[in-house]
Amino acid sequence: MSNLGILSKSFKKKTCYIWGAIIITLLLGVFFFVLIMNLRLIGALRGLKSEKDAELKRKIDKERELIRKDFDEKYSSDLTSFGAMAKALEEEKNKTKELKKRSEQIAQKRGKK
């Protein structure tokens, strides 16, 4: 019976080693599975980020274009207004010169009489 007890202890020891190896293998498998899933998730997030960055860039470009058009329209209308005001001022200057000439002519005619 003493041999049976020794075999039993040896068998128990081997069984513990086998179970330990199985548990370690399972834990390593779970670890690598989680690692792979994490890497896939990181890749998916990077893809999503680049899509969002591209979408944001498109929105910013669209807003820039709208702002540029608004400024161009404002600048164009300002130039048109400025041109019209300059023309009106020139006409007023011409009218003023004409009135001065007439008043001088009238003054000269009165002075001659």
Q: How many CB atoms lie within 10 A of CB 100?
A: 10
pLDDT at 5: 55
pLDDT at 107 over 60: yes
pLDDT digits (tens, 9 = 90+) for 17-31: 999 999 999 999 999
More confident residue, 107 or 44: 44
Both tokens assigned to 11 = 């068998």
Is the pTM for the entire model greater than 0.75? no
What rounded mean pLDDT belongs to the chain? 89
Distance of CA 113 to the CA centre of its chain: 82
End-to-end CA separation in angstroms for the chain: 164
Residue 79 — pLDDT band, cuts 50, 70, 90? Answer: confident
d(CA 85, CA 92): 10
pLDDT at 106: 86
